[in-house]
C-alpha cells in the first residue's frame, strides 16, 4: 500500500512538473499557402520572435489558389482544427482569415492576434476584448513618388496591375477609393485589376503603346486561365520578361532577378515580428484588451541589381546608400 502511494505521489509530481514546463500552444492560421512568398516572410518574422517559446501549429486556407466560393469551406476546416488543437493563442494572417473567422473567435476567450490586415478590422465585425493585431498599409504614394528619382519621365504615366483577390480589392477600395486613375506627385497612376491571365498579359504587352513608362505590380496570385489558378511565380516571371517598360513593386516578395526591379516596398517579416511581439506580451500576462492594434515602422528600398542593370537604371546615391540589394 505504501509502495502504491509512493508511485501515485511520483506520478502526480511528474504530471505537475510536465504541465509547468509545457509551452503555450499557438495556432497560426494563414489565409494563403506556404509556397506564397508573403506567407514565408510573415512566418519567418513570427518564428524569429516566438522561436522555442511556444508549440506552433499551422493551418493554411489556401485562398489565393481557389475560387471565392470555397473560402467558407476552408474557414470551417480551420475552425475544426482550432477545436482539435485547443490553442492558448491564435494568430490570423491576412484579410480572408480574419473576415471568415473573427466572428467565431469573438464568442470565445481565446486571445487572437491578426497580422497583414489591409482593411479596417471593424469592417469584418465589432472588435472584442480578445482580438488585436498588426495592420498592413502599402506605401503606394511613396512607391510611385520615388519613381521620379530614377526614371526620366516624359508622359508621367504609370500602370498599376492587381489581381482580383480579396487583398487587391480591399487595396483598391481603401487606398485608391475605387478610382481607376490617381495623380501622385505629378504622376498619373492608372489602376487595372484582372481575373483572367490573358487580359493581364495584354495589359503588360500594350503598356508602352498606351503611353505608360513603368508598371508597378501589386498582387498577382489570384489570376486564372481556363478556370485554373496560374502560379504567381509564373505570372511574375512572365511579366518581367515581356514588359516593354520597367516593372516595379509594392512588396519585397516581388523583387529579384527575373522579377521586379524593386522600389520602396513592404516586407512580411516586419508584420510577422510585430505579431510575434504581441503574442509574447499576451504570454507574459498582458491583457489583450490593453494591447492596441499597431502599424509597424515599415518600408525600405529594396532593388534587384540584375534588373537595374538590365534596364540601365542608376539609383541616386542617397537611395543607393540606404537600399538593400538583391541579385
The model's pLDDT over 79-88, given as tens digits with 9 standing for 90+, comes to 999 999 999 9
Q: What is the average per-residue pLDDT within 208-227?
A: 95
SS (H, E, C) the chain: CHHHHHHHHHHHHHHHHHHHHCCCEEEEEECCCCCCHHHHHHHHHHHHHHCCCCEEEEEECCCCCCCHHHHHHHHHHHHHHHHHHCCCEEEEECHHHHHHHHHHHCCCCCCEEEEEECCCHHHHCCCCCCEEEEECCCCHHHHHHHHHHCCCCCCCEEEEEEECCHHHHHHHHHHCCCCCEEEECCEEEEEEEECEHHHHHHHHHCCCCCCCCEEEECCCCCCEECCEECCHHHHHHHHHHHCCCCEEECEHHHECCCCECEEEEECHHHHHHHHHHHHHHHHCCCCHHHCCCECCCCCEEEEEHHHHHHCCCCCCHHHHCCCEEEC
Q: Give the per-residue pLDDT at 126.
A: 76
49 close to 280: Cβ distance less than 8 angstroms:
yes
**pLDDT tens-digit readout, 132-169:** 999 988 788 889 999 999 887 888 899 999 999 888 88
Residues 167 and 257 in one domain: yes
Do 205 and 153 share a structural domain? yes
Same-domain check for residues 144 and 172? yes
The verdict on 147 and 261 lying in the same domain is yes
Residue 16 lies in a domain: no
- Return the pLDDT at 21: 56
* 205: containing domain: 140-265+300-326
Is residue 83 within 8 A of residue 101, CB to CB? The reply is no
Give residue 9's pLDDT band: very low, low, confident or very high (50, 70, 90): very low
53 domain residue, yes or no: yes
In a domain, 14, yes or no: no
246: closest CA among 234, 228, 263?
Answer: 263
Give every CB contact of residue 287 below 8 A, 6+ residues apart in sequence: 129
**Percent residues over pLDDT 70 in the chain:** 94
Q: What is the CATH number of the domain that holds 221?
A: 3.40.50.2300
Phi, psi of 45 (to 5 degrees): -65, -45
> Looking at the structure, do residues 188 and 244 belong to the same domain, yes or no?
yes
Whether 47 and 186 share a structural domain: no
State whether 212 and 163 are in the same domain.
Answer: yes
Asked whether residue 2 is assigned to any structural domain, the reply reads: no
Residues 64 and 106 in one domain: yes
pTM over 0.85: no
237 and 195 housed in the same domain: yes
Same domain flag for 152 and 257: yes
Q: Is residue 5 part of a domain?
A: no
Domain match, 241 and 321 both: yes
Number of structural domains (the chain) is 2
Indicate whether 12 belongs to any domain: no
Q: What mean pLDDT is reported for the chain?
A: 90
pLDDT, residue 174, reads 74
Q: Which residue has the cell 513603368?
A: 214
**232 is a domain residue:** yes
pLDDT in tens, 240-290: 999 999 999 999 999 999 999 999 998 899 999 999 999 999 999 999 999
**Domain co-membership, 144 together with 122:** no
Residue 239 pLDDT exceeds 80:
yes
Is the pLDDT confidence value at 14 over 60? no
Task: pLDDT band for 17, please (50, 70, 90 cuts).
Answer: very low
The C-alpha angle with vertex 144 and arms to 143 and 147, in degrees rounded to 5, equals 95
Confidence grade of residue 320 (pLDDT, cut at 50, 70, 90): very high
pLDDT higher at 77 or 12: 77
In a domain, 284, yes or no: yes
Amino acid at each position: 500500500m505504501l509502495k502504491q502511494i509512493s508511485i501515485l505521489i511520483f506520478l502526480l509530481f511528474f504530471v505537475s512538473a510536465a504541465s509547468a514546463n509545457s509551452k503555450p500552444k499557438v495556432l497560426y492560421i494563414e489565409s494563403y499557402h506556404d509556397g506564397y512568398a508573403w506567407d514565408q516572410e510573415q512566418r519567418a518574422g513570427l518564428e524569429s520572435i516566438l522561436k522555442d517559446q511556444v508549440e506552433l501549429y499551422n493551418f493554411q486556407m489556401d485562398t489565393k489558389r481557389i475560387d471565392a466560393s470555397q473560402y467558407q469551406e476552408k474557414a470551417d476546416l480551420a475552425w475544426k482544427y482550432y477545436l482539435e488543437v485547443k490553442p492558448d493563442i491564435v494568430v490570423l494572417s491576412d484579410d480572408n482569415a480574419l473576415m471568415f473567422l473573427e466572428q467565431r473567435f469573438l464568442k470565445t476567450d481565446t486571445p487572437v492576434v491578426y497580422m497583414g490586415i489591409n482593411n479596417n478590422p471593424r469592417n469584418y465585425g465589432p472588435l472584442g476584448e480578445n482580438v488585436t493585431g498588426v495592420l498592413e498599409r502599402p506605401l503606394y504614394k511613396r512607391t510611385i513618388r520615388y519613381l521620379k528619382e530614377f526614371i526620366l519621365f516624359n508622359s508621367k504615366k504609370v500602370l498599376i496591375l492587381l489581381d482580383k483577390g480579396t487583398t487587391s480589392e480591399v487595396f483598391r477600395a481603401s487606398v485608391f477609393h475605387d478610382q481607376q486613375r490617381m495623380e501622385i506627385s505629378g504622376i498619373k497612376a492608372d489602376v487595372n485589376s484582372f481575373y483572367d491571365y490573358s487580359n493581364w498579359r495584354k495589359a503588360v504587352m500594350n503598356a508602352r503603346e498606351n503611353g505608360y513608362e513603368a508598371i508597378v505590380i501589386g498582387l498577382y496570385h489570384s489570376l486564372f486561365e481556363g478556370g485554373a489558378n496560374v502560379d504567381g511565380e509564373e505570372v511574375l516571371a512572365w511579366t518581367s520578361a515581356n514588359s516593354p517598360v520597367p516593372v516595379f513593386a509594392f512588396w519585397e516578395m516581388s523583387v529579384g532577378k527575373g522579377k521586379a526591379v524593386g522600389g520602396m516596398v513592404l516586407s512580411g517579416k516586419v508584420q510577422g515580428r510585430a505579431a510575434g511581439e504581441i503574442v509574447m506580451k499576451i504570454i507574459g500576462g498582458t491583457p489583450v484588451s490593453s494591447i492596441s492594434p499597431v502599424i509597424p515602422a515599415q518600408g525600405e528600398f529594396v532593388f534587384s541589381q540584375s534588373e537595374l542593370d538590365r534596364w540601365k537604371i542608376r539609383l541616386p546615391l542617397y537611395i543607393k546608400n540606404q537600399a538593400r540589394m538583391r541579385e
